[in-house]
Amino acid sequence: MIFALIPAGGQSLRMGRPKLSLPLGDRTVLEHVIGALRQAAVDRVLVVVGAHVPELVPLVQAAGAFVLLLSEQTPDMRATIEEGLIWLENHLHPRSEDNWLLVPADHPTLDANIVKQLLRAQTAQPKSQILVPTYRGKRGHPALLSWEAAAGIRALPAHQGINVYVRHHAREVPVQSESILVDLDTPEEYEKLRLAWPG
């Protein structure tokens, strides 16, 4: 089984407004992310929604994903992801041989073909604990992790983020798409992407 976990608990401080419900073409930022995962035939998609943005819940449900609405704000991204991992364990019962994608919610250029390429790379080298795509030497999103990596993440010291674990355990998968480097943090980035969006 392939799961996907999308942490959507951020405050969008640099954007100045909730960015995941912003429109791009005929769908929102978050709907594009979920749609790409479904196109890549990911088995189950979970979005962890921050307590401050409950309006995202119907968007997630309409896009065909599971949703966990947090009851209170988490202190950081790691805490949001760990809440999602607990939900997956309790509700979907992943096995040790399963894998999961860690996908930023503000990554609307997510390409289903990149996801498929990561899955093929994992099949070719099943002992790889974490795979990340790279474009011209720069690491991007999403990351594909073995389910066993969830225990490693939980064992990190409290002050460390998940990026520390990924950095030390990841194997790189070169891809031919700059889209893996695109996310949305500022109004300027959103406007640039909106104007360039097809249709």
* pLDDT, position 17: 76
pLDDT digits (tens, 9 = 90+) for 138-182: 999 999 999 999 999 988 998 888 988 898 899 999 999 999 999
Residue 13 predicted with pLDDT over 70 = no
What confidence tier does 6 reach under pLDDT thresholds 50, 70, 90?
Answer: very high
Q: What is the pLDDT of residue 9?
A: 84
Fold of 2-196: Spore Coat Polysaccharide Biosynthesis Protein SpsA; Chain A (3.90.550)
Report the pLDDT value the prediction gives residue 21, as an integer from 0 to 100.
Answer: 93
Task: Write down the domain spans for the chain.
Answer: 2-196
Query: Which pLDDT value is given to residue 158?
Result: 85
Question: Is residue 99 within 8 Å of 105, Cβ to Cβ?
Answer: no
**Region label for 137, one of left (φ > 0), alpha (ψ between -120 and 50) or beta (otherwise):** left
Tell me the per-residue pLDDT of 80-135, one tens digit each, with 9 for 90 and over. 999 999 999 999 999 999 999 999 999 999 999 999 999 999 999 888 899 999 99
* Total-model pTM: 0.95
Q: How far is CA 54 from the centre of its chain?
A: 19
